[in-house]
Amino acid sequence: MARKKDAFKELKEKLTLSPKPVWDQLAAKEKKAAERLAEDYRRFLSVAKTERECVEAMVALLKKKGFTAEPSARYYTVFRDKMLAVMVAGKKPPYYGLRLIATHIDSPRLDLKLHPLYEDLDLAFLKTHYYGGIKKYHWVARPLALHGVVVKPDGRKVKVVIGEDPGDPVLTVCDLLPHLSRKVQGDKKLSEAIPGEKLNVLVGGLPLVGSSEDKERVKLSILKILHEKYGLTEEDFISAELEVVPAGQAVEVGLDRAFIGGYGQDDRICAFAALAAVLELPEPLYSTLVIFMDKEEIGSDGNTGAKSRFLEKLVYEYLKLYGVTPQGDTVLETFLRSKAVSGDVTAGMDPHYMEVHEKLNDARLGYGVVLTKYTGHGGKYMANDAHAEYMAWLRRVFSEAGVIYQAASMGKVDEGGGGTVAKYLAVYGMDIVDMGPPLLSMHSPFEVAHKADLYMTYKAYRAFLSAGD
């Protein structure tokens, strides 16, 4: 009887896939490395709340590690302050194909309108238009900060950050009290309970000293404060990009501190993991290109999004670095020979919402980096469905580098879906697949990631960038 059981166990081990938590499989040394990485990430996430701030924070780290702005073996390029590309020359010049990781550094938020400031009932507000896929009820009754840039007609850029320093005031979007909201909110669909036009940010309540006959004294008082602090006038909002984001630092979550919680982890967790992987990358076999893109959350349009042809120009310049003058199909040929990863997050299974998840095929927090063969919706529509050959190659790379991964899709069939930049890069003919950690509360102001998944994402990116054929 005992022998029979052993044979069963042996066969089961040989033939079945049985995922285990990453934490169970890490040596003490690796657990420490994972904790260190999570702390560096928490700090990065706390200061990099806009795409421009991300670029700035990442460039500072690149410079510290000896990367240059001028073409060299390890260099970077910034495009319009919102997109960043990092290159590490390999033993093989770029023409042999690149190892490319693309992530995005824009996140859902409330953008100020062009004429944002108004006063009503002696209260001053800023009007917003939300950016990306938000659930509007997430943005009311919480401390908010204002981050961004104002560009003056003479080209001067004024950076704005209000609501982050301990001495700073914060801003907020007010919600209706339950005593009065039964009909206007309670009886409505969740998506209709808070209209976009009501996402106005409270910024002032002290009237400027003057005659009570004077109109809009609170509004003028706010303009005066902005003028004194930043030199702004009302017209300057027209040439500004001011983003209302959750105020405060990213934090550890859980009594056991298993998680990092904070705003913008879609997709800054992948951006940070990719940066960490490339910062100390030893000379790889294939030339590396890690790119941090903008506009993913609104469809990748615009000249800093994945649909722009910036990537072609970038590779053109990269090829020239090796004395090749690209002509004809050189750039396209380079892309065709490339292997790519779309570094993006996916939905982690939430045990309270299993009606939308498919237990066998969705991602679990703490089970490692997720390899997402396809995204899309309803019949894999709009998906980049990676090829089996490419998945097989990645399995080998992971196994050789000790990367703990899970293969997953997002949600039950026909339940919903989503997309990433993968399909825009696939246009060039390279092999590409989605790879990143799962999140809980994705697209909310307080997203939650597991430290072990961040660590495995970093390890996966590093293994991918260093891999041979």
CB of 366 or CB of 437, closer to Mn ion: 437
Tokens at 267, concatenated = 């997709």
For the bound state, the minimum distance from the C-beta of residue 197 to Mn ion, rounded and expressed in Å, comes to 23
CB of 77 or CB of 420, closer to Mn ion: 420
For the bound state, the minimum distance from the C-beta of residue 420 to Mn ion, rounded and expressed in Å, comes to 6
Tokens at 134, concatenated = 């938000």
CB of 346 or CB of 406, closer to Mn ion: 346
CB of 219 or CB of 268, closer to Mn ion: 268
CB 435 within 8 A of CB 406: no
DSSP assignments along 25-92, one per residue: H--HHHHHHHHHHHHHHHHHHHH--SHHHHHHHHHHHHHHTT-BSSSSSEEEEEETTTEEEEEE--SB
Helix/strand/coil for 181:
coil
Measured distance CA(301)–CA(20) in Å, rounded: 39
For the bound state, the minimum distance from the C-beta of residue 133 to Mn ion, rounded and expressed in Å, comes to 7
For the bound state, the minimum distance from the C-beta of residue 229 to Mn ion, rounded and expressed in Å, comes to 33
Length of the chain: 469
CB 294 within 8 A of CB 106: yes
CB of 119 or CB of 344, closer to Mn ion: 344
Of 273, 212, 236, 310, residue with least CA distance to 403: 273
**Cα 202–chain centre separation:** 27
Q: Which residues here bind Mn ion, judged by CB under 5 A?
A: 266-267, 344
For the bound state, the minimum distance from the C-beta of residue 206 to Mn ion, rounded and expressed in Å, comes to 38
CB of 131 or CB of 230, closer to Mn ion: 131
**353 φ/ψ angles, rounded to the nearest 5 degrees:** -130, 45
Burial class of residue 177, CB neighbours in 10 A (0-12, 13-18, 19+): exposed
CB 142 within 8 A of CB 246: yes
CB of 117 or CB of 270, closer to Mn ion: 270
Q: Which residue is nearest to Mn ion (CB)?
A: 267
For the bound state, the minimum distance from the C-beta of residue 190 to Mn ion, rounded and expressed in Å, comes to 19
For the bound state, the minimum distance from the C-beta of residue 163 to Mn ion, rounded and expressed in Å, comes to 23
